[in-house]
Amino acid sequence: MTVEEKTIRTTTATVVSKSGDKSIKVAIEYKVKHPKYGKYVRRRTTFGVHDEHNQAGVGDIVEVTQCRPMSKTKSRRLVRIVQKAVAEK
């Protein structure tokens, strides 16, 4: 498989926490249909993400991609910030 054929898996997520130096936690929210009752239930998955330049803040919408494991919990890295969070006054 050449580099052009390989697809890079990226997802858009919301930053929920600044864990430490060069680290953030992001959450991906989605809806799943309940098997018995048929109602849609909100689910959330959180990931540790490597933020090399400490750019992202809480509430930002970011694009992350899979990479080699950076630590025990981080195996994704920040690609870009899609939208900055609105600062409250």
Predicted TM-score (pTM) of the model is: 0.81
How many residues are recorded in the chain? 89
Instruction: Please give the backbone phi and psi of residue 17, each rounded to the nearest 5 degrees, phi first.
Output: -160, 145
Domains and CATH numbers, the chain: 10-83 (2.40.50.140)
- Mind listing the pLDDT tens digit for each residue in 2-46? 656 567 789 999 999 998 899 999 999 999 999 999 999 999 999
Q: How big is the CA angle at 47 (ends 16 and 43), to the nearest 5 degrees? A: 75
Q: Which residues contact 51 (CB under 8 A, 6 or more apart)?
A: 22, 23, 24, 77, 78
